Amino acid sequence: MSKSSAQYSQYPQHHPHDHGRPLHRRPAAAVAAAIPLPAADDAYTIVHHGKQVRLGPVVFWIVVGTVVLLGLWSAATATYFAFRDDVLTRLIARQAEMQYAYEDRIAELRAKVDRTTSRQLLDQEQFDQKLDQIMKRQTALESRATALGAMPDVTGSIPRATPQRGDTNQTMQGTPKPSPISDTVIFVAPPDREARLESRAPAVIAPPANQFAKNQGFDNVLVRLTNSLDQVERRQVAALSAVEEGMDSRMRRMRGVVSDLGLNLASLEAAAPRAPMGGPFVPVKLAANAGPFEKQLYRINTTRAEMDRLNRTLAQVPYRKPVVGEVEFTSGFGVRSDPFLGRPAMHTGLDFRAATGDPARVTANGKVVSAGWSGGYGRMVEIDHGNGLSTRYGHLSEINVKVGEIVRIGQVIGLVGSTGRSTGPHLHYETRIDGEAVDPQKFLRAGVKLSAG
């Protein structure tokens, strides 16, 4: 192939008008003169095995460029296959590295979710534990309130719980709802733990921004509940302490009355009639794990039982007034001038000023041993209170009881009059120990001392 001259073939050339005629070899010079030569600057001729291909410059260079590109592609392909193992190794390593990084990220996120879940579950369990403790304490305080309400000494003495502003509008689980008729804090128990966890499951995956505020809200609820229960417990303990102190004080006064009167308490208790009661003996036991409240309640119940026994005993002691209203004596116990003879004489009782027809009341439980006319007493009633104690009510205008009748404190046994040795309507009242008259004022003063507390 050349650009400046044409190539001459050794084979004969055929003329288009030579068909059917025998070929004759022409001289080379003649052939060369017969074939026109291409221009030296605008054509390329490719000769291969006697075949000529004429190409223009543009096509030629396209062909050359294509051949060069194919050569470069072949070289690149050969290089790729030569170094394929290294490339694949690096690709595999890169892919493995990306996979490990992805798995590490997944593991980190999973660990973060687990930590968040564990922390929330721990917070929930702590909340549940605290709430369970508050519920148990609430139950204990309700039991205490029931025990206190059953005590006549405490009924009405415990102030009621006053709901604070905003408490009644709370709808959060566990929010206190003070009852207007009891001294306890009532709150709605939360649902079971699994249901709460299911309801809070989305928060575990995507915790809200105000989760901390919610936890703080739960803590505030628990604090308010605890404070309310503390307040209730303090009031209960204060009321119980007041009852115990009052009962101890009354017990001391009751024993003081017996001591001041010079009576034998054991003898009085033995002589006191017993109410118709019965049943198997079941000793009172205090639990080993009893707290201060239970121990104090046990002491109060023991003291009350003893006080009831003393009350039954003192019900036989005539330390009350035989008339209603202000006491006015017209004559005291002891030596006085006899109203009829004008000479000194022993007055064995007290004369209470009263109008005819006023009721005369028995001053202690007992049994009527005399009811009728009795010399200077006029119409008189005598009551035997047991253990050597007895009382007499003289100058009555009317008698309302009969011999052998059992009478109770405050019962009307007759009406005031002026029968017998009397200068006017009044009640003659006597107190006797083993048949011997003693000053009734001693008993009346003991009654005033006992009732003053």
Does a structural domain hold residue 3? Answer: no
Verify that 237 and 334 share a domain, yes or no. no
Q: What is the mean pLDDT of residues 109-123?
A: 81
Does a structural domain hold residue 230? Answer: yes
pLDDT at 185 over 60: no
Cα–Cα distance, 104 to 449 (Å, whole number) = 89
Q: What is the pLDDT of residues 291-321, one digit of tens each?
A: 788 888 888 888 888 888 888 888 899 999 9
Q: Which residue has the higher pLDDT, 101 or 165?
A: 101
Does a structural domain hold residue 359? Answer: yes
Question: Residue 338's domain is classified under what CATH number?
Answer: 2.70.70.10
User: Residue 159: what pLDDT?
Assistant: 42
pLDDT at 400 over 90: yes
Low-confidence winner among 18-32, 33-47, 137-151, 324-338 (lowest mean pLDDT): 18-32
Cα–Cα distance, 40 to 58 (Å, whole number) = 15
Position 277 confidence tier, pLDDT thresholds 50, 70, 90: low
User: Residue 365: what pLDDT?
Assistant: 94
Verify that 333 and 448 share a domain, yes or no. yes
Residue of 251, 268, 256, 260 whose CA lies nearest to 442? 260
Q: Which residue has the higher pLDDT, 351 or 30?
A: 351
Q: Which residue has the higher pLDDT, 409 or 63?
A: 409
User: Residue 331: what pLDDT?
Assistant: 87
Residues 6+ apart with CB under 8 A from 81: none
Low-confidence winner among 31-40, 53-62, 184-193 (lowest mean pLDDT): 184-193
Domain boundary among 220, 242, 264: 242
* Segments forming the whole domain that contains residue 189: 136-242
Cα–Cα distance, 67 to 70 (Å, whole number) = 5
Q: What is the pLDDT of residues 340-383, one digit of tens each?
A: 888 888 899 999 999 999 999 999 999 999 999 999 999 999 99
Would you say the pTM of this structure is higher than 0.75?
no
User: Residue 453: what pLDDT?
Assistant: 60
Does a structural domain hold residue 281? Answer: no
Does a structural domain hold residue 287? Answer: no
Q: Which residue has the higher pLDDT, 242 or 213?
A: 242
Which pair of tokens denotes residue 230? 């503390």
Does a structural domain hold residue 108? Answer: no
Residues 6+ apart with CB under 8 A from 230: none
Domain boundary among 242, 261, 276: 242
Cα–Cα distance, 133 to 222 (Å, whole number) = 10
Verify that 348 and 234 share a domain, yes or no. no
Does a structural domain hold residue 441? Answer: yes
User: Residue 270: what pLDDT?
Assistant: 72
Domain boundary among 227, 242, 257: 242
User: Residue 427: what pLDDT?
Assistant: 95
pLDDT at 333 over 50: yes
Q: Please provide the average confidence, as pLDDT, over all residues in the chain.
A: 75
Verify that 333 and 444 share a domain, yes or no. yes
Count: domains in the chain: 2
pLDDT at 204 over 50: no
Does a structural domain hold residue 289? Answer: no
Verify that 334 and 224 share a domain, yes or no. no
Which pair of tokens denotes residue 218? 């739960």
Q: Which residue has the higher pLDDT, 275 or 283?
A: 283
Q: What is the mean pLDDT of residues 33-48?
A: 59
User: Residue 443: what pLDDT?
Assistant: 92
Provide the phi-psi class of 12: left if phi over 0, else alpha when psi is between -120 and 50, else beta: beta
Position 187 confidence tier, pLDDT thresholds 50, 70, 90: very low
Q: What is the mean pLDDT of residues 81-92?
A: 73
Q: Which residue has the higher pLDDT, 30 or 297?
A: 297
